[in-house]
Structures are given as C-alpha cells and as structure tokens.
C-alpha cells in the first residue's frame, strides 16, 4: 500500500530527475557556449547535474529497498497467520 511518505519520496526522486534532465538539455543547447568559455562554471554546472542525477538514483534505490522490506514483512505476516490458523484448527 502506498503511503504519503512513499509518494513524497517518489515525487522528490522525480523532481530531481526532471531538474537534472532540464539541466542536461540547457547545458547542451543554450548554455553550451557560456559554459565552454568559463571552465569553473562548466565543472560546477555539470557536477550539479550529475549530483542531482545520483540523488534521484539514490532515492530510487532507497525506495526499492523500502518496498522490498515491506513486501517481505507482509509475506511473513501472511505466512504466520495462515499457519497459525491451521495449527489452531489442529488443536481443536
């Protein structure tokens, strides 16, 4: 089940990925000549773009781990509930 925390985490990941994609597009088109003239600005700009991309990747990996943990816990809960019902029936 998707909670508000999950939705917020996914929105942040999508936001950072969209911003990084926008920076990529602007860096190759409109800002290209400006970035080439100033090497310090070039490095900072592309490191920022790379950092936003890695941040969105990190959020995606974290989200994947949270969902996997939740599914594993639900499977364990269903397993124990199913077998506790069976063991309760056998005791009667």
**Would 75 be classed as within a structural domain?**
yes
**Would 18 be classed as within a structural domain?**
yes
pTM: 0.80
What's residue 89's pLDDT?
A: 67
Per-residue pLDDT of the chain (92 residues; tens, 9 = 90+): 778 888 999 999 999 999 999 999 999 999 989 999 999 999 999 999 999 999 999 999 999 999 999 999 999 998 888 888 776 666 66
What's residue 2's pLDDT?
A: 77
**Would 91 be classed as within a structural domain?**
no
State how many domains the chain has: 1
Closest CA to 57 of 17, 19, 22: 17
Closest CA to 12 of 48, 69, 50, 62: 62
**Would 43 be classed as within a structural domain?**
yes
**Would 79 be classed as within a structural domain?**
yes
What's residue 13's pLDDT?
A: 95
CB atoms within 10 A of CB 63: 15
Host domain of residue 31: 4-85
């Amino acid at each position: 089940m998707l909670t508000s925390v999950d939705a917020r985490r996914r929105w942040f990941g999508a936001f950072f990925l969209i911003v990084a994609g926008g920076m990529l597009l602007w860096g190759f088109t409109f800002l290209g000549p400006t970035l080439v003239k100033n090497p310090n600005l070039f490095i900072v700009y592309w490191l920022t773009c790379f950092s936003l991309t890695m941040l969105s990747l990190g959020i995606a990996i974290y989200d994947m781990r949270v969902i996997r943990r939740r599914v594993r816990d639900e499977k364990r809960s269903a397993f124990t509930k199913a077998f506790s019902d069976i063991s309760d029936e056998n005791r009667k």
